[in-house]
Amino acid sequence: MLLWSNTPAVVIGRHQNPWIEADLKYFYHDLGNLNVSFLTTQRKHNRSKNLDFLSQCLNKGLGISSVVPNERDDLILQPSGCKVSGTAARISKGRAYHHLTVLVQVALDALKASLHSSLKDKIESNATLSSPAKSVGYLGQKASSTSVDDVQAMVIRDFQSQFDHCQTIEWTPSELDKDKYVGLYEMLRVLNSEEWIYGRTPRFELSIFATNIDDFFKVVVENGRIKESLHPQFPVGTNFRKSLAASKFY
């Protein structure tokens, strides 16, 4: 099991469109979320078991009984039904990865703003769309003094109790020697690159109303570059993100 937190980030799926899923002008800074990743063999992969473990751990540790899994493999707070944990999984080559978020102390206004795209209704795409929860909450609404460190300690304690021997290793960025972890830093470089974040975006069409011609114009984008356009601010072959940032439409 891997426990981790990061700043600042809006995390989307590999086959999703960042222009639809997030407000890319907005950076959401928040360490009030704990990420929990279960890494197993494919044979031992069991979402329900992981969700039950985490909900029971949180209820026991916080002295409540309101954290429950739902049919979408989220964790919600009862009776409000507010989502406090989302889930994602991947199985490949005999290995399995089950990832969950746990919202502990979160600025909800900032979170909601970061996930609202002003371009969403202007884009046509076959990219996978997210399915937003009707309402979002966090554990601090039930236990106000709870911190991410508190929840992390609960999860580690209960996870270790399942085994006769379970070693805990804590890493911080300063301890990751660049010479020793060359492969890791290469992955970080790729994942932070323009090509990875925007350059693999599935093909989409953007329609924007131009007041000077009193009509809509269409921009077709594929792999982060403009493929079709009749508007002078969006020349064919240019980087879409940079053209959009320089325009008056965003």
The DSSP line for the chain is -EEE--SS-----TTS-HHHHS-TT-------EEEEEEEEETTT--HHHHHHHHHHHHHHHHT-S-EEE-TTS-EEETTTTEEEE-EEEEEETTEEEEEEEEESS--HHHHHHHT--TTGGGEEE-SPPP---S-B--GGGTSTT--HHHHHHHHHHHHHTTSS--------GGGS-TTT-HHHHHHHHHHTSHHHHTTTPPPEEEEEEETTTTEEEEEEEETTEEEEE--TTS-TTSBHHHHHHHSS--
Whole-number Cα distances in Å, 91 to 48, 95, 129, 172:
15, 6, 20, 28
Range with the poorest average pLDDT among 73-82, 126-135, 216-225: 126-135
> For 178-205, what is each residue's pLDDT tens digit?
777 778 888 888 988 888 888 888 888 9
For the entire predicted model, the pTM comes to 0.75
In the predicted structure, residue 170 carries a pLDDT above the cut 60 = yes
Cβ within 8 Å of residue 101, ≥6 positions away: 33, 34, 35, 36, 85, 86
Task: pLDDT band for 29, please (50, 70, 90 cuts).
Answer: very low
> Across the strands, what pairs with 237?
none
pLDDT of residue 55: 97
Reply yes or no on whether the pLDDT at 210 is more than 80.
no
Domain ranges (residues) in the chain: 2-170, 201-246
Mean pLDDT of 62-77: 94
Q: What mean pLDDT is reported for the chain?
A: 84
Which amino acid, residue 24? Answer: L
* 160 pLDDT higher than 60: yes
- 122: pLDDT strictly greater than 80: no
Q: Where residue 215 falls among pLDDT bands split at 50, 70, 90?
A: confident
Tens digit of pLDDT for each residue in 216-237? 888 999 998 999 998 888 899 9
User: Residue 169: pLDDT above 70?
Assistant: yes
Q: How far is CA 103 from the centre of its chain?
A: 12
Question: Which carries the bigger pLDDT value, residue 116 or residue 2?
Answer: 2
**Mean pLDDT, rounded, for 152-169:** 93
Q: Please state, in angstroms and as integers, the Cα–Cα distance from residue 223 to each residue in 18, 122, 167, 220, 226, following that order.
A: 12, 18, 43, 10, 8
Is it the case that residue 125 has pLDDT exceeding 80?
no
Q: How confident is the model at residue 73 (pLDDT cuts 50, 70, 90)?
A: very high
pLDDT attached to residue 26? 46
- How confident is the model over 57-62, as a mean pLDDT? 97
Instruction: Name the amino acid, one letter, at 22.
Output: A
Query: Whose structure tokens read 């570059």?
Result: 225
Q: How confident is the model at residue 27 (pLDDT cuts 50, 70, 90)?
A: very low
Q: How many CA atoms lie within 13 A of 233 on its CB side?
A: 14
CATH class of domain segment(s) 2-170: alpha beta
Top-confidence residue, 245 or 168: 168
Of 21-25, 123-127, 177-181, 239-243, the least confident: 21-25
